[in-house]
Amino acid sequence: MKIKKVYIEGFRSIKEPLIISFENVNALIEPNNSGKSNILLALYSVLGKNWVTKNTFSEQDVYKEQYDQDITIDIIFEEPYIYEQYKGFPIEIPRIQFIFTRYKIGENKGQRRLEKNCLQLNGKPVFGFAKRPAKGETTKLAPIASIPQDLQENLPVIYISASRSLKYQLPRSQNSLLGILMEDINKDFEDENNKIVVNQGTELEKEISRIDRFKECIAEAIKALRTEEFESLEKSIKINALQQLGFDPDTEADKLDLFFNPLTSLEFYKSLELYINEYDYSINATELGSGFQNAIVLAILKSFEERRRNGALFLIEEPEMYLHPQMQRSLYKTIRKIGETNQVIYVTHSPNFVTIPHFNEIAIVSKNESGTKIKKSTLNFTEELRNKYKKELNPARSEMFFAKKLLIVEGDTEKLAFPEFATRMGLDFDKVGGTIVEVGGKRNIIDFLELALSFEIPVAIAYDTDSSDFSGKKDEEQQYNEKLNSYAEKGVLIFSFEKNYENELKKFYGEQLYIDYCQKFGRNKTQRAKLMAQDNEIEVPNFVIPIIEWLG
């Protein structure tokens, strides 16, 4: 099952209704303490547990612990879940809702309770059968009283928290990575066609199914384990149980057949632990450092992708933790592959986990006095637009989604020079969240400008009025310049250079002095601009100062 949309209200930092649409892969980005992780936790609270009750939530989960505040978590699926209340009678459930509220009347007034509702898309209840349908009887319908347990069981939720503790991904943990993989392995193991040869090379050699061989081995193990003390304990428990139930252990022992049963093959797989051999010692992997445990968790995640397991929901906090940039990019590829057959929602602070062509997967999370807010792009996502951005794919440009202020420039010259001027002016773009993005040419400015505006990122542009992108096309460039300038009406700050940036420098310093600087710092205009900006003996140009001050 895939989640299409989620509505969250009153949960932790989320006060007012938060509505989020989800794709197969989803990135939640923005500062710490903005509430990104609370979105994951809300989903995990209602989907990652075997049985959700009022005890799933506490007053600490309620926004500012306000007495009259309810928690509402409403989930709409991409395709309705097909629930067979009775065999042969399917019921579609497109939406489920959890409300942590209080009794309004009666003897329990004021106490917390949890409503669990199956809803139609219009918010009305989903109706099921009041009783098993029978031939010849009028079918009676009634609202489904709660959310079916098998709905939650059919959506494995894998939560990888920022703690990166390996113990939560071992087979014995509910909805763990290895637990789900071991279930698949056990299905293969129990296949009668999965054979093993025993007593090989002897007269007793035979081929037998692995599951039957396992049962034989377990039976032998139990036989060895049944010591006198073991059997005495088993008998004592049975006698005491009979007495507790009101039976005479001497004459009514047949009323209760109580005994210890061995592990099933699945239980055996789920009891396995991971160990590391180091200097002739075996160490439980859960006792290793956080970085090592993180490496193992991510290795298991990659194995999950390689086995093409599908239908799970992954909730991941900060996948970039403990990873150098190359491994971050590798993990992002893994996440995208997992997202082909599963759904992934993750929180990140790294531009290596977002890309401009997939801007529809990005949600910028923020927080103000009204709690956690979320912003997704308002651009209409099409394959044509995606392919357009693909041509300009550059990981450094993905930093725009993390910017508190964004300056869009044509190329590397301004991108390299402006931070150097800022340093000399005592300003630090990084400290205040200012980002410069070069877009690979003047013709690309509008595409990136529209993208920034769609996320409501404060943005400015700096462009050459006479760019080489429009060589020999003066009328077309004039129209383009007018269009760029028109974005001032949308709140964009416009900086334009007469002809180009180099021409502005020449005007400011004077032609002869500018020629001297060019001879001093070399012919490469990009590097020359950076070196000139670094030189404390060269005055900061007056036309640059407003740009630097705005961004810094």
**pLDDT (average), residues 355-379:** 92
Pairing of strands 371-376, 362-368: antiparallel
Question: What is the predicted pLDDT for the residue at 106?
Answer: 94
Grade residue 259 by pLDDT with cuts at 50, 70 and 90: confident
- Residue 312 CA to residue 315 CA, distance in Å, equals 10
* Pairing outcome for strands 25-29 and 362-368: parallel
User: Residue 69: which of 92, 94, 101 has the closest Cα?
Assistant: 101
Residue 78: CB atoms within 10 Å: 13
Instruction: Give the pLDDT score at 132.
Output: 83
For residue 457, what is the DSSP state? -
Over residues 425-434, mean pLDDT: 95
Residue 91, amino acid: I
Could you read off the pLDDT of 510-527 as tens digits, one per residue? 999 999 999 999 888 899
User: In the structure encoding, which two tokens stand for residue 75, read together?
Assistant: 């989930």
- Mean pLDDT of the chain, nearest integer: 91
Q: What is the pLDDT of residue 112?
A: 96
From residue 349, alpha-carbon distances to 360, 470, 474 in Å are 17, 37, 42
474-486 and 445-454 helices, crossing angle to 10° = 10
Report how far apart, in Å, the C-alpha atoms of 505 and of each of 377, 419, 498, 527, 529 are: 37, 16, 10, 15, 9
Spatial distance between the Cα atoms of 372 and 36, rounded to a whole number of angstroms? 8
CATH of range 1-170+311-394; options 3.30.70.260, 3.40.50.300, 3.60.21.10, 3.90.1310.10: 3.40.50.300
State the DSSP H helix or E strand holding residue 419, giving kind and residue range, or none if neither. Answer: helix 412-424
pLDDT tier for residue 27 given thresholds of 50, 70 and 90: very high
User: Which of the four pLDDT bands, split at 50, 70 and 90, describes residue 261?
Assistant: confident
3-state secondary structure of 65: helix
Which residue, 291, 16, 41, is CA-closest to 161? Answer: 41
Q: pLDDT of 320-341, one tens digit each?
A: 998 999 999 999 999 999 999 9
Task: Assign 195 to helix, strand or coil.
Answer: strand
pLDDT, greater one: 23 or 132: 23
Percent of the chain with pLDDT over 90: 69
Position 520 scores a pLDDT of 93
pTM for this entry: 0.88
| β partners of residue 368 | 371
Q: What percentage of the chain reaches a pLDDT higher than 70?
A: 100
Which sequence spans correspond to the domains of the chain? Answer: 1-170+311-394, 177-272, 403-552
Confidence check: pLDDT of 49 > 80: no
Sign of CA pseudo-dihedral 410, 411, 416, 417: negative
Taking only the tens place, the pLDDT of each residue in 465-512 is 998 888 889 999 999 999 999 999 999 999 999 999 999 999 999 999
Alpha carbon distance 65, 87 (integer Å): 44
Q: How confident is the model at residue 292 (pLDDT cuts 50, 70, 90)?
A: confident
pLDDT above 80 (res 14) = yes
How many angstroms separate the CA atoms of 221 and 36, rounded?
A: 50
d(CA 486, CA 484): 5
134-185 per-position pLDDT tens digit:
777 778 889 998 999 888 878 889 999 888 888 888 888 877 888 888 988 9
384-398, 409-423, 470-484: which has the minimum mean pLDDT?
384-398
Is pLDDT at 31 greater than 80 in this prediction? no
